[in-house]
Structure 1
């Protein structure tokens, strides 16, 4: 047991057990967070109808919040049913007070208006909700709710709706769930996210980019056991944010969690057809690749017809130790050691000097069986016949993957979390890198440290097919002490930088001895 993150859910109680507080508690406990609940209203409803909504007084809610703050402060607050104007005003005041004490607190609002079985949960106007909408960090409307918030009833384009909601309310992250679309064969969710705006989060290394969108698509699963699905999505998102995931990865995991639940109830739903409207089936943390959505962006659309890149032709061997070095000195020193792969990452040189280093590096490597990858300089790698090129996420959009493949080069791609891993996997590269596993001194990876558990989870997202499985390299903060733990996750290769180049100062042994020790650990 470890101490769990704490989330608060402020929502209505559904006496039928499907939605609201009941769904929030089941979801939160299944995803490893502690859930404190403040009931905003007691509803009278079943699977057929909503009879009444009975709001809880502000005095009771305030007493609960004040007492909980003394020993169970939240990292995330999830808001669902808001019953009246008085509760809106109280929530705005509460959020402002808590954020002064806890600047990293994240608030997630799942707007609840109409019940699926018919009837309204409140009569609040958009004007009355505006103060709350302007105060929350993340909002998760379904398509119908997004149309209402954007005041664009005839528009079903999630991107347009999300951007209109942002223009009107400046909410940092807007996730429009597409599950209520009646005509689409797929369920597509869209997130419009203001980078680096979410409290306590650093979402992207590109400081010039103000906003980004994420789109996830899954095959629609027909299930009549969907009561509380929207509540469960928002609470799952809150739980993953509480665990420290970035928005893009929390979004991806929440989508997988919903797919997993619908899949579990699909057989019984088919058995009973339309006879019964059942509660959504919370299944705990999603691990299986089959439940994860397809990530869609401009790069994946551009290269959707691109064939797989050439394999590394390992002939059954492990990729093994993967040194990342920055000079010809280190390349000359490591090439004779029988390594399967080395990456040359050149920094702080003029382009003319970079080209000369690459020319010499490619010439040197051809005398050995070591696969030499050039970091980022894909045009020069093509020009001078390198074995492969490694592209970081920040440079992937600018690279021409068609030209890289036509030249016969192998391709490696950096990823940081499940969202980027799913995207990059679709490009069918020669290998994928995932990191940073641990904090590292070679690059600012704030907000993107994966850890061993997340590394293990990401490895499970590869297709369960040995023929098409892409080798994965773990990178970031790996040294002699940590290497065995990383290898135990099942990763095919570990990339190291300072473990070799700073061997003398770190371990009082030579770089060659460190290479030998690491190779034995990998096996």
Structure 2
């Protein structure tokens, strides 16, 4: 069979490349083996540089045999131009020579690849017991400014904090702040080894935190929580966490979304292992076998791209407090199987007057500016105009005025969500729509139980600068799998040429702006798009 090498090359070029620099585990659970399995299942090409050959099995670490740095340097030289990485994932560093080589190599390659990201999993001890690396923490200090994300577990985080403090620390946020001061751009502390949580939580939930530096004086905290999953097949889960994070970052996800997807990937793998255990037939069970299975330490099972809602974590955020005290928002009054269809977003009463007679299911009035003297009479008149038509009119952002004049609903952007009185909106009987950009914001907003969720920008758009937050059709489809019964609106850069592809993903509505406002014949364009979404 003849293979077209040009076509093969084009196909391979579409896959992001990650390098993993770590140790080899002959038992197949951790290190390079976990990295390769994870990367391949998440659709990245994996190049590996082995820092050490370890001798270990499911019960003990016997030996660590470091690789000479000359060999590692030759491997980098062979790969750097042929297969340049989008992300480098670092695991086991076996000795001082390797750390010195790594610092020099990363400094040079980062100067050549300014968008390169580095994920570091600070492996100190093997999960089966025994020391993988005896490097003092002070030796790692020059590496930290070259690291974009470091992913210690709770025990490793406490050890890293000795670089900046000698006090005993157990607070995860405090530790993350200390580690961030070492020079890395972000720190994720995995909660699986945290034995300091409240007793009633410790046996039931696992909490991971991500602290990301935004500037020298500010940072942002992301906290994810999932039920603890008890399984003896978790060997290499820490390596898989870091390599999954590297893979999602290589696919150009923002850190918050890569973090969320990584947590779902790990939950998925742990659940796969429990399903294997639960599939054992009753006649194979006896007390001795059950004890042996519980003692056995098997390899973490890497699944594929996470898509099931039960794999995804809960977002812990101050907005959760609003969720606990907020009355449920009214639904959109859709009959079974009914969708919203075309969703025009317009900025004036003139546009509203033009579109209301067209029998649309939903319209949003987005008025730019905050001059209350100008905005209030426009919203008052808009609500009065919409009452004569069977159309759901949503007011963008101005929730106080929407309540005052009895609008059907209000749409809130992420940047204004914290400042909005969600309880007041719900008590007034208004429907709520929320903008989201990626799976992290989608899951957080979904916990507020809004009337609908908007996902964007699907494509680059003229109306807003969405740099770094373009979702695309593939990501939209993945987010839709998390929606359950919440109606989803797609928005951003959608024109007549893209309309059908977006609609075919299964969204409830397609929001458009310039496809109407810049059309030569706006009414005709609206009717045409409306008919295609029936």
Residue of structure 1 equivalent to 2:233:
225
Confirm or deny: 8 A CA contact 1:307 1:428 kept in the other structure.
no
Is 1:302 the counterpart of 2:322? The answer is yes
CA apart distance, 1:268: 4.0
Q: 1:311 aligns with which of 331, 338, 361?
A: 331
* The 10-residue stretch of structure 1 (130-139 or 247-256) with the greater mean CA deviation from structure 2: 130-139
1:85 Cα deviation after fit:
1.1
The CA deviation string for residues 24-80 of structure 1, in whole angstroms up to 9 with x for no partner, is 000000000000000011111111111111111111100100110121000000000
Aligned residue in 2 for 1:479: 495
SS at match of 2:234: coil
1-structure distance, mates of 2:424, 2:418? 13
Report what 1:520 is aligned to: 531
Q: Give, in whole Å, the separation in 1 of the partners of 2:321 and 2:20.
A: 38
Superposed CA deviations along residues 104-152 of structure 1, whole A, max 9, x for unmatched, are 0000000000111111011111111111123211000000001111137
Tell me by how many angstroms 1:269 deviates: 4.6
CA–CA distance in structure 2, aligned partners of residues 53 and 305 of structure 1: 54
Q: Partner of 1:263 in structure 2? A: 271
Equivalent residue runs for 1:169-188 within 5 Å: 169-182=182-195, 183-188=202-207
Aligned position for 1:365: 386
Do the aligned partners of 1:88 and 1:131 also contact (CA within 8 Å) in 2?
no
Asked if structure 2 preserves the Cα contact closer than 8 Å seen for 1:327 and 1:344, the reply is yes
Q: Normalising to structure 1: TM-score of the pair?
A: 0.94
**Which of these residues, 393, 417, 426, is aligned with residue 438 of structure 2?**
417
Q: Structure 2 CA distance, aligned partners of 1:401 and 1:117?
A: 49
Work out whether residues 52 and 66 of structure 2, in 8 Å CA contact, stay in contact via their aligned partners in 1: yes
- The answer on whether the counterparts of 1:264 and 1:281 sit within 8 Å (CA) in structure 2 is yes
How many Å apart are 1:339 and its aligned residue? 0.5
Contact 2:326/2:423 (8 A) holds in 1: yes
Report if aligned partners of 2:322, 2:422 keep a CA contact under 8 Å in 1.
no
Alpha-carbon RMSD across the aligned residues, in angstroms, is 1.5
Aligned to 1:195: 214
What is residue 89 of structure 2 aligned with on the other side? 78
**Cα deviation digits, residues 173-192 of structure 1 (max 9, x gap):** 10000011343410110000
SS across alignment from 1:303: helix
Match of 1:238 among 242, 246, 254: 246
Distance 1:471 1:185 in 2: 31
| Mapping for residues 248-259 of structure 1, pairs under 5 Å | 248-259=256-267
- Whether the 8 Å contact between 1:218 and 1:293 is mirrored in structure 2 is yes
Deviation at 1:454, TM superposition (A): 0.3
Supply the distance in 2 between the matched residues of 1:267 and 1:435 (Cα, whole angstroms).
35
TM-score where L is the length of structure 2: 0.92
> Are residue 377 (structure 1) and residue 387 (structure 2) matched?
no
Structure 2 contact 322–423 (Cα < 8 Å) conserved: no
Which one is further off, 70-79 or 314-323? 314-323
What are the Cα deviations for residues 361-399 of structure 1, in whole angstroms up to 9, with x where unaligned?
111111111111110011111111111110000000000
What are the equivalent positions in structure 2 for 1:80-479 lying under 5 Å apart? 80-151=91-162, 154-167=168-181, 169-182=182-195, 183-195=202-214, 210-269=218-277, 272-316=292-336, 317-348=338-369, 350-463=371-484, 469-479=485-495
- Structure 2 Cα separation of the partners of residues 307 and 55 of structure 1: 60
1:174 & 1:484 partners in 2: Cα distance? 41
Aligned counterparts of 1:498 and 1:222: Cα–Cα separation in 2 = 52
- 1:379-425 CA-partner distances (Å, limit 9, x unpaired): 11111111111000000000000111111111000000000000000
- Find the aligned partners of 1:486 and 1:430 in 2 and give their Cα distance: 21
SS in 2 for 1:470: coil
What CA distance in whole angstroms lies between the structure 2 residues aligned with 1:269 and 1:68? 41
1:36-75 aligned at under 5 Å gives the runs: 36-75=47-86
Larger CA deviation: 382-391 vs 436-445: 382-391
Identify unmatched segments of 5+ residues in structure 1: 198-208, 464-468, 505-509
Report the 3-state secondary structure (helix = DSSP H, G, I; strand = E; otherwise coil) of the residue aligned with 1:433.
strand
CA distance in 2 between counterparts of 1:154 and 1:284 reads 39
Cα displacement (A) at 1:323: 0.4
